[in-house]
Structure 1
Amino acid sequence: MRKKYILQNKLLHDIVKTNKHFINKIVRHDIINLLPYQSARLLHNTQCRQILLNANESPKNHVFHLKVNTFNRYPEPQPQKLKFYYMKYININININNILITRGADEGIELIMRTFCIPYHDAIMFCPPTYGMYQINAQILGVKYYTVKCLCNFQLNLKKIIHKINNYNIKIIYICNPNNPTGNLINKNDIIKLLKFVNNNIIIVLDEAYIEFCHTYTLLKLITQYNNVIVLRTLSKAFGLAGLRCGFIIAYHSIIHTLKKVIAPYPIPQPVSDIAVQALHSSYISIVFDNIKNIIANREWLIRKLKYLNIVKHIYPSVTNYILVEFINVQHVFNYLLKHNIIVRQQNQITQLKNCLRITIGTYHECKQIIVVLQQLLIQ
């Protein structure tokens, strides 16, 4: 019996090895070496007993019920009702032809690149430390990418950005605002200076995934002044609908018209559209902004408490639902939190963020648990 088991295992191993060799012969070489994005759910298994503070999700879950359940037909490619409700929500002088619905803001990042960049010829630019999917999408699509590191205060280094624009064939610049993982706003005047310099020759993408936490600082109105501005939005963060995968591209109508040629035929499942419309009713929006107030209060409470811990070296200012914290002996802190079922996000591998953890702001109870566990670590 044991010999049979060993033979079966060897046969299985040989099949896997042969298949891997076959795949490696036909797949793009740059994909073989690609390091995929390490999403929060990939890094750690979701368990109900864990406090999940590593994906910048809302700590509150709201129950919705489907109002339409016609599943035997393809959905409306771009649900007009949803676009209308989102247009009302953002409340600027545009119409539904300026909006494209996507599968989260992530699809928007990829779709813009796929539409405007010629593989192995054109390039994008972004300013680390920032959201990792700009780089990974470029690598997947065979688009060159150039980086200009942020200044020490995580603002744009305009001088170096302009130098690279003058020397490379850059089509798109991605600016995460507020920035992830640093939590700060990018200086509006710097963005406007950049827009004036590129003079419609480069698309500027403003990724506003976290803007609801500081909504008065949105730069949405720039799309009414500049034809080359694209704003990305999502219902994943402040709206607490990360599992829905619903995002929006807001831009000049000719950009939206072009993107619609490239997007998948039926990207928005009918249940997604149904729930998203419900979430954009004024009654739910008021719940969202009440929750934002609670999150901000929890953020400020957590910051105050962390300042008293001598293992905390620095807490970076944040306008979002997460904070970036520099610790003494960060790996030990991360492992200790993990051991006590508190999952935060490692940033230590990023050059500019050595010894840092990104902590999502959860409920008051969850924030309190972080402090309790870190106090236990101190007295060990």
Structure 2
Amino acid sequence: MDIRSLMPSFLRTLIPYESPNEGAPEGTVWLNTNEYPTATKYEMRFETLNRYPQVQPALFRSRYAQYAGVKPEEVLVTRGADEGIELIIRTFCTPFKDTVLYALPTYSMYGISAKTCGANVLTVEAKKSLGLDTLGLCKALAQNPDIKVVFLCNPNNPTGNTVSRDAIIRVLEAAKDAIVAVDEAYIEFCPQATIVDLIEKYPNLAVIRTLSKAFALAGLRCGMILAQENLIAALRKVIAPYPVPEPVAAIAAHALSEGGIAAMRQRVELIRGNRTYLKESLAKIPGVRSVYPSQTNFVLFEVDEPERIYKSLWEKGVAIREPGSDKGVLRVSVGTIGECKLFINKLTQVLQEAGS
């Protein structure tokens, strides 16, 4: 039996999200998934694991609401931001009828999640500068009444640039009959760019957050959706029961304590300093054509033959990311200062070998 014959036809040819870490040699330096480079430590006791956890962890929700500037009823905790992305699509898109819209290049899970839910996908190409084509998004909304969800990544992955507040408002105004999901996974690195205050005005706005980046808890798989209560209520119809394990909720609540938030902000400052070193060093390397501005914990840069450079670095024990773009770009996460220096040295070697 061909197992694929039992799958819905729209899933048979789907290319899944693949971890870039599979098959890596021991000792690889990980600068490819935008994680915080060192671990945080938590000591917890759990004596009630025989019971199901709270449907939505109250202490964590209240602390995150206070941190984000919303009401606890406007917070939905999910298994990472990825579950939040899929949850929004499943809640608001009718399979084989409705459409998900986003601008390229951006996070690949918007498209993958849409396709797994049977939704159509419509994309708008970026400007030559890789900036957001706001006009293109608004035109697409005007011409396609079947669009039910629009994703905006702010700051954007993989480009590292922010979307202006005015641009987001223009999309919100154009999306009268669609949910606008603004993914703020990297917002702690540029908190001034958040649009969470617009939730009060726009009932169709959903803000996606995560603890994976600046909070250094990627392994916890804890995300949040912030929105008006009616939108949260709709999502709760679809979310699986007991989505957040008790240990996850306890660690997340600790991360949102006064001390936890202070530690997060110290990490952000450290990453900003290392990012400055990385950008300045990249700009000095012969063979690096351009280094893009970044408001995140990663840097995008242009080279000739990016696929070959990517593979050569992998062979030298340094893992970065090839986002897949005709601009010839590679993305490197900001690691420790030692990891950044190692990456610069290895990249310089690879580019010198290419030119010899």
Q: Under TM normalisation by the shorter chain, which class is it?
A: over 0.9
Could you tell me how far 1:332 is from its partner in structure 2? Answer: 3.1
**Aligned with residue 45 of structure 1, among 2, 9, 24:** 24
Q: State the distance in 2 between where 1:41 and 1:123 align.
A: 31
Secondary structure, counterpart of 2:100 in structure 1: strand
Secondary structure, counterpart of 2:220 in structure 1: coil
1:288 aligns with 2:288: no
**Aligned with residue 377 of structure 1, among 341, 346, 350:** 350
1:363 aligns with 2:343: no
Alignment match, 1:10: none
What is the CA deviation profile of residues 178-212 of structure 1, one whole-angstrom value per residue up to 9, with x for unaligned ones? 0000000012111112222333x211110000000
Q: State the distance in 1 between where 2:8 and 2:296 align.
A: 38
One-letter amino acid of the structure 1 residue matched with residue 216 of structure 2: G
Q: State the distance in 2 between where 1:66 and 1:372 align.
A: 40
One-letter amino acid of the structure 2 residue matched with residue 359 of structure 1: V
Q: State the distance in 1 between where 2:352 and 2:57 align.
A: 56
Secondary structure, counterpart of 2:207 in structure 1: strand
How many percent identity over aligned positions? 39
What is the CA deviation profile of residues 195-246 of structure 1, one whole-angstrom value per residue up to 9, with x for unaligned ones? 22333x2111100000001112111101011111100000001100000000
Would you say the 8 A contact 1:67–1:274 is kept in 2?
Answer: no
Could you tell me how far 1:143 is from its partner in structure 2? Answer: 0.5
Alignment match, 1:336: 312
One-letter amino acid of the structure 2 residue matched with residue 224 of structure 1: E
Could you tell me how far 1:40 is from its partner in structure 2? Answer: 2.7
Would you say the 8 A contact 2:141–2:174 is kept in 1?
Answer: no
Q: State the distance in 1 between where 2:328 and 2:171 align.
A: 32
1:84 aligns with 2:57: no
Q: State the distance in 2 between where 1:66 and 1:99 align.
A: 24
Secondary structure, counterpart of 1:257 in structure 2: helix
Alignment match, 1:140: 116
Give matches, 1:1-380, under 5 Å.
18=1, 21=2, 23-42=3-22, 44-45=23-24, 47=26, 49-90=27-68, 92=69, 94-168=70-144, 169-199=146-176, 201-347=177-323, 349-351=324-326, 354-380=327-353
Q: State the distance in 2 between where 1:216 and 1:159 align.
A: 24
TM-score normalised to structure 2 length = 0.95
One-letter amino acid of the structure 2 residue matched with residue 25 of structure 1: S
Look at both structures and tell me which one has the larger radius of gyration over its CA atoms: 1
Q: State the distance in 2 between where 1:235 and 1:198 align.
A: 28
Would you say the 8 A contact 1:68–1:274 is kept in 2?
Answer: no
Q: State the distance in 2 between where 1:208 and 1:337 align.
A: 30
Greater shift in the superposed pair: 325-334 or 29-38: 325-334
Alignment match, 1:7: none
Q: State the distance in 1 between where 2:222 and 2:150 align.
A: 23
Structure 2 unpaired stretches of 5+: none
Taking a change above 3 Å as real, the CA distance of residues 254 and 379 of structure 1, as seen in their structure-2 partners, is: closer
Would you say the 8 A contact 1:179–1:185 is kept in 2?
Answer: yes
Secondary structure, counterpart of 1:45 in structure 2: coil
One-letter amino acid of the structure 2 residue matched with residue 253 of structure 1: E
Q: State the distance in 2 between where 1:287 and 1:295 align.
A: 13
Could you tell me how far 1:261 is from its partner in structure 2? Answer: 1.1
Could you tell me how far 1:46 is from its partner in structure 2? Answer: 7.0
Secondary structure, counterpart of 1:243 in structure 2: helix
Q: State the distance in 1 between where 2:350 and 2:96 align.
A: 50
One-letter amino acid of the structure 1 residue matched with residue 325 of structure 2: I
One-letter amino acid of the structure 1 residue matched with residue 15 of structure 2: L
TM-score normalised to structure 1 length = 0.89
One-letter amino acid of the structure 1 residue matched with residue 4 of structure 2: N
Structure 1 unpaired stretches of 5+: 1-17
Q: State the distance in 2 between where 1:235 and 1:46 align.
A: 28
Secondary structure, counterpart of 1:318 in structure 2: coil
One-letter amino acid of the structure 2 residue matched with residue 125 of structure 1: L
Could you tell me how far 1:345 is from its partner in structure 2? Answer: 0.5
Could you tell me how far 1:379 is from its partner in structure 2? Answer: 4.6
Would you say the 8 A contact 1:89–1:280 is kept in 2?
Answer: yes
Could you tell me how far 1:164 is from its partner in structure 2? Answer: 1.8
Q: State the distance in 2 between where 1:146 and 1:377 align.
A: 37
Secondary structure, counterpart of 1:223 in structure 2: helix
Would you say the 8 A contact 1:69–1:271 is kept in 2?
Answer: no
